[in-house]
Amino acid sequence: MASSNSIVLAFFLLATLIATSRANFNNDFAITWGDGRAKILNNGDDLTLSLDKSSGSGFQSTNEYLFGKIDMQLKLVPGNSAGTVTAYYLSSMGPTHDEIDFEFLGNVSGQPYTLHTNVFAQGKGNREKQFHLWFDPTKDFHTYSILWNPQRIVFLVDGTPIREHKNMESKGIPFPKNQPMRIYSSLWNAEDWATQGGRVKTDWAQAPFTASYRNFKADACVWASGSSSCGSGSVPKSGSEWLTQELDSASLERMRWAQKNYMVYNYCADLPRFPEGLPAECTATS
């Protein structure tokens, strides 16, 4: 039988491994702008972004990723947040960049937030789908996730998929799969378009506006020095099954529920916007 000292030592080593593997804002992110309006708190467990009339604020990940399952918990700006945008997204750099967007468009008190999603491939976006949420995102933290693998991009809210964007390169449609991306987030003033198309402006008497972040997690392929931590061929290792993950029947049903009840804009249904025909992915089948 192991001695009590051995058991205590083993438990201590296990606890140390867990502690060092836990994501930490001090280690995983850098504040990039805002002149002190962004703050990392509680020894790296929490982060806040603030916006006032002079400036917003933002941060970015220290790592670049090429595919991953990214989770972040956010609590959005409460009250009258009209005109503000809290953006949380993955992006590469340059004119032909790829990007996967969550943007939370502020609201007048008593009205719902608009969750704006978009996918850019090789510098081209215009793939917006917007949702209202089935909860108040300012009252508590909720988990917003991006599943990105070579076959698909899935947007999830508290584990519920709300949108899937499939790889249709076989149909000649670009898909983000060659450019590593960092995680970015910012809180900024977009009163010219964010709330009711810009009709409702920011009420600066409510400033400073603050959004809060915690519990970041990245099960992801880290890109460094021209190579991926997942190796070549995107062959899943144990614990990285997300690299080939698909939506099962229960997840597809849950996504249909979210889209039927909470999707308020779908670019693939906006015929007046595309008089020469809907984007190719709207009519193609994978």
Cite the active site residues: 99, 103
Alpha-carbon separation of residue 66 from 43, 60, 106, 148, 189 (angstroms): 28, 16, 30, 8, 30
109 close to 80: Cβ distance less than 8 angstroms: yes
Paired tokens of 192: 């010219």
Please, which residues bridge with residue 44 across strands?
none
Q: Which residues contact 203 (CB under 8 A, 6 or more apart)?
A: 80, 82, 83
CA 111 – CA 120 distance, rounded (Å):
29
Please say whether the dihedral angle defined by the alpha carbons of residues 146, 149, 150 and 154, taken in this order, is positive or negative.
Answer: negative
Separation between Cα atoms, residue 183 and residue 61, nearest integer Å: 5
- Angle at the Cα of 230 (from 225 to 235), degrees rounded to 5? 140
Separation CA 130–CA 157 (nearest Å): 13
Nearest to 48 by CA among 275, 261, 210, 158: 210
